[in-house]
Structure 1
Amino acid sequence: MVLWDIKPAASHKVLYDLVEDARGRPRVVIAGDFNAWAIDWGYPRTDARGRILLEALASLNLETLNTGGRNTFSRAGTGSIIDLTFASETIARSSSWGIGDFYTASDHEAILLTLAERIVTTLFPNCEDALRDHPLRHCEDRLKECSCEEVISIVRRMRPNKAPGPDAIPNRAHGLAVSLIPEVFAEMYNQCLRERKFPSIWKCQNLLLLPKPGKPSGETSSYRPICLIDTAGKVLESIIGARIQQEIERHGDLSEMQWRDGSKKYCLVVTLAGIWVGTTRIPSQRAIKYLGVMLDTHLCFREHLEYANQRALVSVRSHSRIMMNTRGPKEGRRRLLTSVTRLIALYAAPIWADALDKKSYRSDLEATYRLSAIRVCSVFRTVSDEAALVLASMVPIDELFRESKAMYYGKRTDASSGSSSETGNRQHQRLQSIFRWQRRF
């Protein structure tokens, strides 16, 4: 199922990519705001976009599910039918389409599409029967329950003076409770193992920023972030980790090339053509996330730039609520807040910085970075990119990537030669970035 929103200014290539993605799939549902008119879905006339849409979808043998002449979009007393739903023949025969009568807080009406249970089962098969005889299922059935002695041993290994998590229960108090009623805690953890669930409340964390000694308070790099979780969650992690280790050892232990005992040797990332679970095939993706970096099949890192831009854009939008043009924090604090966006975008930059040589790859990230600069210097959106960066005292994002890459390889060179001039290297690379920036003018 694909949900789509094609704006009038979108090129025909967007629609072409959608059709190519759906081609060859036996069961397809395409729904969205297409901004197209046609007699086929109840509008009095057919416009150019409607003809293009009909021609594109004709090759997929899709049927239009829209029925009746009721408008799906209304504004200022006028309306049109632009929210469309298309489906393959097998789905169209056993589905119902309609417009909801409830309030949506939007110009668009709610579209109700009901698929038959048979179709849902086909699209999302239940693999319980297929997994019944799978070796992984037998591994889960052999999951060993924890004993009172194991829980007590894990708690005793924890440092009693460590800071607590969101529940504010210190390790010392948790250890005392476990020593008094170990059977209660053992049964609680065993229930988690039986249900194969990790409670969501134990995944919550408290974020603390520890200042580094001798560092200026206005810089993001002057703080060391740590996340504190509940002790109860740490105990369950240790219990699960012990069982994972036992299964690994039982199946022949880790490869000699695996990172273990503090010695990292090699790391291999492969892309599989597909994985079969019973009778269900799980196809591979064009890109996978490894240690926070999206690795694609060609290592061009376009997917990672899109991923990094989405994360940075969320940060910019969050900060925009407290950094308005007419009031809010001063420029120094604004710059400190926007440095979070910069650090998100710069994550692992030495690996993929070369991808920024293509302007089409970095354009979205530059637009997000421009929003940060606008919030720092409190100017209108009509100000040019160069002027906003100068007023905000922010080096262009592509220069920051090159600077990060140069610093990384500079550290490796210093480490191999035995020198320790990290501060000098940082200052030198920043001067080089400013010099390249000035040459643009």
Structure 2
Amino acid sequence: MGPPDGGSPNPTLKITDWKKVSTALEKIDTPSFNSIPDDISTADEIDSAIDTLPTTIESQCSHASPPYDIAHIQHIEEEVQSKASSEPKDDLPTVSLSEIQTLVKSLKTKKAPGLIGISNKAIKYFSLPLLGLLVAIFNTCLRNCYFPPIWKKAEIIGINRPGKPRDLFTSYKPIILLSGLGKLFDRILKTRLSDHLFGKGLIIDEQFNFHPVHSSPQQVLRLVEYISEGFKSKQKNRSCLL
């Protein structure tokens, strides 16, 4: 939402009604789950249940791919190649050893590791040479605009909700485990992108999402006060909610 005197609101704001989503998922037939017994007692049944879970999640979340537009894809690839080969206009600050040490100290040790199997507790025990290697890797990633694909992949564990039937997809709560190293690099990127956006004045003061000292209740209060002032002066108020 823009300021009262005019401004550029966000083009879209996606709001999901999770209650409707849950109701829709409950209506989805999950035949592969129907074969999972309520009482799993043997090793074979455990393996079967584990194998069934990711397959079912993938089948329910997959959608048919739209037809390819070869010309459009080629145009996008050329644009990406042009951007990637050009020199960056604003170089991001390099990563320092002291920054890595501070971030590593703040890691929570009780978090489970992701696919690469390196836990946060293990990262906290990294020696100085290993931390120096991390500095070199992160700086190379920044310089080449690269985020390693393995850090984007997550391990998903399905936990059965208490008292819920095991043959329903909605009875399982997905737990997503990401790489600790990926989270470190993510925080490094976030810090630099935030400094760049706010330092260049690219984030307007009227934005109340992902903005320090700008909470959503403040935006709601501003809206209520603006409408109240309109009532007092007998003016009509209009709003566009996206």
Scaled by the length of structure 1, the TM-score of the pair is 0.29
More strand by proportion, 1 or 2?
1
TM-score normalised by length of structure 2: 0.50
Computing the radius of gyration from Cα coordinates, the structure with the larger value is 1
The structure whose RCO (Cα within 8 Å, separation 6+) is larger is 2
